[in-house]
A and B are shown apart, each in its own frame.
Chain A
């Protein structure tokens, strides 16, 4: 029998005043460090706690969040359709296949970032905050118009950084551009404890010695993430995955239900590696 997800009603914009949701932009400067993966997994983990969450893909022209969520076939309308009045917000929001309180607002694929008006985008984020507990904005790489649009409506930011000199430099630049008006926290992604031990990779301390941000999470490098990304199944929903657990803890820290500092992924023991190899 096929499993179906009940479409859960979300409060409409006209509903009784409720606490406004939080708008968090996930950004990095450098591309390919895991912004989209972090957005998808953090969003899925937040929504799995019962919170209402909308993921907004701000990468107009190079969208990928729909792929990572496995929702690409269900996208009918995108952000620009909403901004230009071609579609309503409800038409454009795609409900996740697995978590009923999770929605995706896809980016336009065949348009340019210059087509998006920064103020209008910011207004859209603001109206989403009236309907959702969390609005996560997946920022494009770089610091051009797409970046300006993505950060416009957010009052919090998560910087995703890999333990690489170039990623740290770009992240540092972005922290400067975000200014003092936003709460900025750090996720160190794709850490390889074995390389750190051998002095071949920067440690979390090295990275944050430069960036000096509150640490929200540390994610280990795992081939499973590539697989889950390619398949469109966020690893955060896999109860058995250690990386998934790291994302679930990030969600709990965002909500405020977990006060402990992030654990730094440790090296696997000889037997764990041997077992892993035989899998």
Chain B
């Protein structure tokens, strides 16, 4: 078994765990890896929506764990990327339907079928969180440059350390112009506070709202700047040393015309 089993977690909700899971999974699959995405948010699943596969769900994770179907029957193959599969969460059950041990076994089993298992963790640090990290061999902590998100990330990092899980950080939804005007924490601020290794910086991009609503990961638009950024994150995961893009704030005219257009 050689698959990397990576949980994407954050503590705070709405910082971009699901979007990051979908996009990172898609870009890893594009790069030739066999990828399985697992939605660990039992009862409040969303990964299926973000990937646009919600109408194709027949079986879910809880049914697999309960032995009511085979893993392969529950996995949904993405229609755009043949290396990408998704194991959806159950929507009408709750997180206590699966134990930590069952979850860990499931992830181990999935790891035998692919190169990367990405686990989309629910918000919070309750049972759903403990399940999601149970089978992981490493973690990506997603945070935004906001005081509350960073405080929650700090708490989660403590819990990951307790488990001995290696972790790296993605700073999501950075707004360079707000950093420059002193209204937002910088990436350096965030990594200093959390003293964690940086895996990626993703700028705030309004296109993400739309692509997420439409179930089309933005990395599938290869002209998108986020596709380039996610590709770099994937290469860093593979072990390449890829320099970080420093996002300069748009200039005066770009701001005026960008907003006026």
A274 touches B256 (CB 8 A): yes
B185 touches A142 (CB 8 A): no
Closest Cβ of chain A to B27, distance in Å, is: 20
Q: How far is the CA of A45 from the CA of B44 in the complex (A)?
A: 31
Give chain B residues whose Cβ lies under 8 Å from the Cβ of A144. Answer: 94-95, 124, 126-128
Give chain B residues whose Cβ lies under 8 Å from the Cβ of A32. Answer: 12-15, 123, 149
A-B contact count (CB 8 A): 136
A146 touches B124 (CB 8 A): yes
Take A31-B124, A141-B123, A142-B126 as given contacts and tell me if A62 and B11 are in contact as well, using a CB distance cutoff of 8 Å.
yes
A140 interface contact, C-beta 8 A: yes
Give chain B residues whose Cβ lies under 8 Å from the Cβ of A226. Answer: 146, 178, 183-184
Q: For B151, give its contact among A64, A165, A170, A195 (CB under 8 Å).
A: A64
**Docked complex: B134-154 residues within 8 A CB-CB of A:** 146-149, 151-152
Q: How far is the CA of A105 from the CA of B256 in the complex (A)?
A: 44
A61 touches B125 (CB 8 A): yes
A contacts with B, residue count (CB < 8 A):
45
Q: How far is the CA of A161 from the CA of B64 in the complex (A)?
A: 31
B contacts with A, residue count (CB < 8 A):
43
Take A62-B12, A113-B126, A226-B178 as given contacts and tell me if A29 and B44 are in contact as well, using a CB distance cutoff of 8 Å.
yes
Q: How far is the CA of A227 from the CA of B182 in the complex (A)?
A: 9
Q: For B14, give its contact among A33, A140, A227, A274 (CB under 8 Å).
A: A33
Give the nearest-CB partner of B15 in chain A.
A32
Q: For B148, give its contact among A68, A112, A145, A227 (CB under 8 Å).
A: A68
Q: For B209, give its contact among A62, A201, A227 (CB under 8 Å).
A: A201
Closest Cβ of chain B to A31, distance in Å, is: 1
Spell out A's residues near B (CB within 8 Å).
Answer: 29-33, 36, 61-62, 64, 67-68, 109, 112-114, 140-146, 162, 164-166, 169-170, 173, 192, 195, 200-202, 223, 226-227, 229-230, 270, 273-274, 276-278
Beyond the given pairs A195-B210, A226-B146, A230-B183, 5 more chain A to chain B contacts, judged by CB atoms under 8 angstroms and listed by A's residue number, are A64-B148, A67-B147, A173-B91, A192-B206, A229-B146
Spell out B's residues near A (CB within 8 Å).
Answer: 11-15, 18, 43-44, 46, 49-50, 91, 94-95, 122-128, 146-149, 151-152, 155, 175, 178, 183-185, 206-207, 209-210, 212-213, 255-256, 259-260
